[in-house]
Amino acid sequence: MGRPVRVLPLVLVALASLACESDQPTEAEREEISRVVRIFVESLAEAYGKMDPTPLQEVATPRLMEKARHDIDLLRAGGDRLEPRLKNLEISQLKVLRRTNAYVAAIETWDTKRFDAWSGELVGHDPNSVLHTHIQLQLIDRRWLVLYREVEETATGPRFVVPTPPAS
């Protein structure tokens, strides 16, 4: 009978410590996660420009690499190639849970050109595409890796469309 009474205070202390856990990153975590997110987004642009997910290897999980490969294959099958250039990255929110999972809300501003994958002809240009994204990272073997990136909202600037010459 005395044993359950001794366990109860330990359980209460454990529950209280979990309830007080903060999701605010340390300054070192904030700097490292921000650095990894920037490298990831710039690597994503390089991957789409080269039509090859290899630039993501150092900052993305294998599952995300496969998703990027799939998305690039879909672009290629549709006859498109993108040339995105990151103009600005603003991290609007950063949370770290249990020191191993990070959640980032970001606003990305891109200058994106779209080319015909076969002829290389410029077929569209959006100089101010604004993406509101959510990015999840996980600390794996003491390195932050991106698990996923989801685009929640998109706002585009005036688009430049290349006129198609009339058929002769």
What total of structural domains would you count in the chain?
1
- Residue 163 falls inside a structural domain: no
Q: How confident is the model at residue 161 (pLDDT cuts 50, 70, 90)?
A: low
Q: Tokens for 3, please give them.
A: 């044993």
pLDDT in tens, 69-84: 999 999 999 999 999 9
89 — phi, psi (to 5°)? -130, 120
User: The domain that contains 98 carries what CATH number?
Assistant: 3.10.450.50
Which range of residues forms the domain containing residue 76?
23-155
Q: Average per-residue pLDDT in the chain?
A: 86
Note whether residue 1 is domain-resident.
no
Crossing angle between the packed helical segments 62-77 and 27-50, to the nearest 10 degrees: 30
Does the global pTM surpass 0.75?
A: yes
